[in-house]
Structure 1
Amino acid sequence: MSNKKNITTDEFALLAFKSSITLDPFHMLSNWSISSSTSCNWLGVTCDERHGRVRALNLGNMDLKGTISPQLGNLSFLVDLHLNGNSFHGELPHELLQLKRLKLLNLSYNSFVGEIPSRIGTIPHVISQLGRLRILDVRNNKLSGTIPSTISDMSSLEEIHLSNNTLSGMIYSHRYNTKIIC
């Protein structure tokens, strides 16, 4: 019974995200509805077979326009989030910091503004709360603020892409296998 509640939580989070999308010109999310099959069969959604929870959300390059719903932070099993190459705008919700299992965050080629919430700060010091994050890609947005020096202390990070924003600061890599593109 509790597993059904978890699936409902994921479906609610995805539907709240869909409701924040103002333009879906190719009707990519047309099968995202409670009346259709489980959310694990929705376009761009991949679920963990063991728990039936949303593991990946890949909506890259779908010409979607809108904002990011704070409810996306309720996808507690999310590992990969790809929203790159769309027309998402506005500020990033601090609820993204709740995604403790997140390994890949690709928000590149959108129109996000402001700081990556210090709440993700600009890339705030609290980004270290995403302890499993391997890839951070926020290039080609309109983000501003200071890059925290603590980002180089995140042992899980393998790639950081920050170019074409108005970020300031330096990143020092203590690891030789970290790819940094600023």
Structure 2
Amino acid sequence: MVNVLSRLLLFLISLHCFVACLATNTKNITTDQSSLLAFKSLITSDPYDMLSNNWSTSSPVCTWVGVTCDERHNRVHSLNLQNMSLRGIVSPNLGNLSFLVILNLSSNSFNGQFPKEIYRLHRLKVISIAFNEFVGGIPEALGDLSQLQIVHLGANNFRGFLPQSIGNLRQLKSFDISGNMLFGPIPQTISNMSSLEYLALHHNYFSGNASSDIMCHIFYISCIHTIYDFIISILDLLLLPYHTNSCTYD
């Protein structure tokens, strides 16, 4: 009798755990879906109907255009909306996509400030938002995303200082902030970015002295690639008439 009761109790506990896990998984999928629908609601122009005809509750979120889900967790893993001619502001609700690894919104017409909520997505490895119309600064919180490998913010309207915290991005391989309105000194902490293979700083308003550590680091990065990359990287830091940077070096 005791064995029967024990088995029944174990079965009920297992059933409860199964239902709870199922409910949690459903909630997570619903959270991702709601976040993406909030993002869609702020799109003011979708000339090719990429989202308007596809992102709907009538189909699973993991089948939506530009959305890829992680099979293990059944959560949104990648959002790739590159070159879709979308216009609007980016919803802070994207900060709820807690399993997001890749975010690519490049070559659209997004404007306004890039949501600070996205900088709490600590699984992110790729942020590519180049060729848009984003404004505001690059926050210190960028340096908290220690998994980042690619950060492309070029050809926007970002302004202000480049934060010292970027030196924390030791896994970063490609960093492009060219074509903005950034100013002030280039942070010494760039020399801490030991995995960096590509660096683009040109067409900003950087000033001051670039230390020999930075120059040597850029030389090392450029030697991994081509002579052209080396020349462009050095021009980023020297005072030349066709570049807006105005750095000198020690």
Partner of residue 136, structure 1: 151
Q: How many residues align?
A: 174
Q: What is the Cα deviation at residue 147 of structure 1?
A: 0.5
Match of 1:110 in 2: 132
Q: Relative to structure 1, is the Cα distance of residues 99 and 127 closer, same or farther in structure 2, using a 3 angstrom cutoff? A: same
- Equivalent residue for 1:19? 41
Q: Distance in 1 between matches of 2:165 and 2:122?
A: 18
Aligned to 2:192: 174
- Provide the rounded CA distance (Å) in 2 between the counterparts of 1:55 and 1:133: 14
TM-score normalized by structure 1? 0.92
Kindly provide the amino acid, as one letter, of the partner of residue 112 in structure 1.
F
Deviation at residue 114 of structure 1 after TM alignment: 1.2
- C-alpha separation in 2, matches of 1:135 and 1:48: 20
Contiguous gaps of at least 5 residues in structure 1: none
Aligned CA distance change for structure 1 residues 60 and 45 (closer, same or farther; 3 Å): same
Q: Is the 8 A contact 2:169 2:193 kept in 1?
A: no
Q: Which has the larger radius of gyration?
A: 2
Counterpart of 2:93 in structure 1 is: 71
Unaligned runs of 5+ in 2: 1-22, 202-250
Aligned to 1:59: 81
> How much does 1:153 deviate?
3.1
Which structure 1 residue ranges, 4+ long, deviate > 4 Å from structure 2?
none
1:148 is aligned, of 163, 169, 187, to 163
Partner in structure 2 of residue 34 of structure 1: 57
Match among 140, 147, 164 for residue 179 of structure 2: 164
Q: Does residue 96 of structure 2 align to residue 96 of structure 1?
A: no
- Bigger mean CA deviation after superposition, 163-172 or 61-70: 163-172
Residue deviations 1:113-150, cap 9 Å, x none?
1113xxxx1xx2x2122111111110000000100223
> Partner amino acid for 1:52?
N
Relative contact order: is structure 1 or structure 2 higher (C-alpha 8 Å, sep ≥ 6)?
Answer: 1
Aligned equivalent of 1:5: 27
Paired letter, 2:68: T
The amino acid that maps onto 2:102 is D
Partner of 2:67: 45
2:222 alignment counterpart: none
SS of the equivalent of 1:173 reads: helix
On the 8 A contact 2:108/2:132 being kept in 1, the answer is yes
TM-score, normalised to structure 2's length? 0.67
| 164-173 or 82-91: bigger deviation | 164-173
The alignment partner of 1:31 has SS state of: coil
Deviates more, 1:80-89 or 1:156-165: 156-165
